[in-house]
Amino acid sequence: SVPQGWASQLNVAIRTNHIYATMINVELIRALMAEGSVARIWAQSRARVAARIDMARRVLGPFQLAAQRDSWFAWLKLADGWSSESFTTMARMQGIAVGGSANFTIEGLAPDRNGVRLSLTGPGSDVAAHAYFHKLRQLLDRGGQDSERIFA
């Protein structure tokens, strides 16, 4: 039994965090594993993620970024003036995809839900990733003033 109030949050978290494989995807992965390509692709992906984490930290500067080199995502703690909902909306208005922390945490269990999840692999190239992080930095530098006007 799920504690009262958690069912809808768990449903969103599961839908947001899980990918359901189709039969063609299963067969393609099975073939890639058999020929040894998966290990090579995995190593290249890990190297790309490590470089993207370093890039994000350089571009985002003083803003707090939590990232692990074995994850395809990073967490950006939002400064005062922002809520995860307002930041996510403002970012999307500028063509930047981020995920608000409420979609990935259960209320009452996460000590700080005021953040967003960034994709380290979503941008298709390093140039696109740099632009992604730079747009986030510009939004962060502006603070939450615009969001106060829009969400008031």
Each of the 152 residues of the chain gets a pLDDT tens digit; together they read: 667 777 777 777 777 776 667 889 889 888 988 998 888 888 998 999 999 999 999 999 899 898 988 888 999 998 888 888 889 999 999 888 888 877 776 665 655 668 898 999 888 899 999 999 999 999 999 887 655 555 55
Q: Which residue type is seen at 123?
A: P
Beta strand extents in the chain (DSSP E only): 65-67, 73-77, 99-100, 115-119
Res 133: pLDDT:
95
Res 69: pLDDT:
84
Pairing mode of beta strands 73-77, 99-100: unpaired
Q: Rounded distance, CA 48 to CA 21, Å?
A: 24
Output the six-digit token pair for 20.
Answer: 């359901």
Res 150: pLDDT:
52
Count CA atoms closer than 13 A to 79's CA, side-chain side: 14
Q: Rounded distance, CA 9 to CA 94, Å?
A: 27
Res 50: pLDDT:
94
